[in-house]
């Protein structure tokens, strides 16, 4: 169980926990079987995934409405008066027990965001707003929206860790080719100015008659290096079977559009058995993108 994206201890009060059954049985949100013991509260959104979500996946997505096409997402319900399934599976809900969509703010909360980009077209101004880890912009028509010329208005959390996106890859990835190859792990970063930090281990195996170099980078292009300042390298001397090291790099970037950052690797020249890899679970690969505003 996670609360606000943080894993918490739970107590098993009996019974056997099994996977969610995929069949014709009724599916309830906010109540037990047959609508009994209804939840006395308000639910903003509900999703069902067919895989186990990691802590980083939960943190990075808990305040976002998904497109509905994400891998593993099998059901999404916005619940702002809309009970349709936001995925292609079509598992629409039916209201019962006098369900209504609330328009109030039950906690009298002020939600904060940082404007990371602004554009205007045809008299319409579009703002890109990053809400960090603790704030949520409702997915409906907003009222009482205010902005402040101050860098840190009253109530605004200036802790950079609350205005950060991050990804940790604990699976070992490797390549044996001399061109940039994606290592699968990625982080999606919105339009705007960001401070990127990339930490990883880099490991080369199977030496050859001549020295080899291995490279790992964070790139916004799936086929090439886009920022040499976000690249780490390691040397495998000639006739040495293996060599490893760790590194950390940081750079400030400005993206004119949303970017998906990919971890990629390559070797300086192909050779029998020459391989470059990250350390996986030994030294996890870690990317952070912190909003430059804070």
Residue pLDDT, tens place only, 179-226: 898 988 899 998 999 999 999 888 877 655 667 788 899 999 989 999
Which residue do the tokens 């970063």 mark? 189
Q: Which residues, in sequence order, are bridge partners of residue 46?
A: 77
Residue 189 structure tokens: 């970063």
CB atoms within 10 A of CB 134: 15
Q: What is the mean pLDDT of residues 162-168?
A: 89
SS3 6: strand
What pLDDT is attached to residue 289?
A: 96
H or E stretch at 3: strand 2-3
Q: pTM for the whole thing?
A: 0.62
Length of the chain, in residues: 294
Q: What is the dihedral of CA 100, 106, 112, 118, to 10 degrees?
A: 20
Assess contact for 106 and 100: CB atoms under 8 A.
no
**Highest averaged pLDDT of the listed ranges 32-41, 106-115, 253-262, 275-284:** 253-262
Q: Which of 127-136, 172-181, 192-201, 269-278 has the highest mean pLDDT?
A: 192-201
Query: Are 285 and 169 within 8 A, CB to CB?
Result: yes
Beta-bridge partner residues of 7: 2
Q: What percent of the chain has pLDDT over 90?
A: 19
Task: Express the helix, strand and coil content of the chain in percent, nearest 5 each.
Answer: 5, 35, 60
Report the pLDDT value the prediction gives residue 230, as an integer from 0 to 100.
95
Which domains does the chain possess?
1-103 (no CATH), 114-157 (no CATH), 164-291 (2.60.120.760)
262 — pLDDT class (breaks 50, 70, 90): very high
Cα torsion at 70, 73, 78, 84 (round to 10°)? Answer: 110
């Amino acid at each position: 169980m996670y609360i606000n994206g943080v894993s918490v201890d739970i107590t098993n009060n009996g019974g056997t926990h099994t996977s969610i059954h995929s069949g014709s049985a009724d599916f309830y949100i906010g109540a037990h079987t047959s609508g009994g013991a209804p939840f006395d509260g308000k639910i903003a959104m509900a999703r069902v995934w067919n895989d186990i979500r990691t802590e980083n996946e939960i943190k990075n997505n808990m305040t976002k409405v998904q497109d509905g096409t994400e891998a593993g997402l099998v059901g999404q319900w916005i619940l702002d008066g809309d009970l349709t399934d936001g995925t292609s599976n079509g598992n629409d809900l039916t209201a019962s027990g006098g369900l209504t969509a609330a328009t109030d703010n039950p906690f009298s909360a002020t939600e904060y965001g940082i404007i990371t980009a602004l554009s205007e077209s045809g008299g319409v101004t579009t703002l890109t707003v990053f809400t960090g880890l603790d704030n949520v912009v409702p997915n409906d028509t907003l009222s009482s929206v205010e902005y402040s010329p101050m860098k840190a208005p009253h109530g605004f959390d200036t802790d950079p860790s609350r205005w950060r996106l991050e990804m940790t890859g604990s699976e070992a990835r490797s390549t044996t080719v001399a061109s940039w190859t994606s290592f699968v792990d990625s982080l999606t970063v919105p339009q705007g100015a960001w401070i990127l930090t990339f930490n990883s281990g880099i490991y080369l195996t199977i030496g050859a008659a001549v020295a080899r170099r291995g490279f790992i980078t964070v790139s916004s292009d799936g086929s090439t290096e886009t920022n040499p300042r976000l690249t780490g390298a390691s040397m495998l001397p000639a006739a040495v079977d293996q060599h490893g090291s760790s590194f950390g790099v940081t750079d400030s970037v400005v993206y004119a559009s949303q970017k998906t950052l990919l971890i990629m690797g390559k070797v300086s020249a192909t050779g029998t058995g020459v391989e470059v890899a990250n350390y996986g679970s030994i030294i996890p690969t870690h990317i952070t993108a912190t909003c430059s505003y804070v």
